[in-house]
Structure 1
Amino acid sequence: MEHQYPDHRVDGRRTYCVTGATGYVGSWLVKSLLEKGYAVNAAVRNLGSCDRLLTLWGGGDRLKLFRADLHEEGSFDDAVHGCHGVFHVAASMDAIVNQLTDDGNY
């Protein structure tokens, strides 16, 4: 049985969303997708942190930036709308790290 998946393309190109696009893995993934000719919706927490990466990414009209936060329900809706797929490489920065105690336990 052959599956039929919607083909969401921008000007003939497949579009992918990358969450955590300003992180180490996410930024290289965005760059790689753009180099392969795909369109990318980059989901980031802070749009102001993208300036240095815009130079790295290039992409022109194939790159769209979206503000999104893992802690805000619905904030990824616009970023993923119409995408062929999503690369979820965002991580919450709210992890609590316990300090090392005197007895060596964490």
Structure 2
Amino acid sequence: MSEFILDEDFDYFLEKFGQPDWQHPVERTTLEYYRGKLPDRLLFYWEKMGFCRFKQGLFWIVNPADYEDELAIWLSEDILKQDNYYVIARSGFGKL
């Protein structure tokens, strides 16, 4: 298994937000579904940290499948036809 090495940006994020205070493991099938669709580094973080919450809900790393309906409402059909879009995080105030 790969060694868990943070990149500079994620290390900075953890300095500001601390370690997650809630985590949910990501299933292998979810990782495989998003492989090639989302960056490998993000999938690596999901594998190591899961979907998780920071600062008692101030920031969340989320399962994109949970936000497909909201994304379809937010983006027009024309935009959705141009590319693939995924929600990967949200704020405690609902900003995706």
TM-score range, shorter chain: under 0.3
Higher Cα Rg: structure 1 or 2? 1
RCO higher in structure (CA 8 A, sep ≥6): 1
Give the TM-score normalised by structure 2.
0.27
> Normalized per residue, which structure has more strand?
1
Give the TM-score normalised by structure 1.
0.25
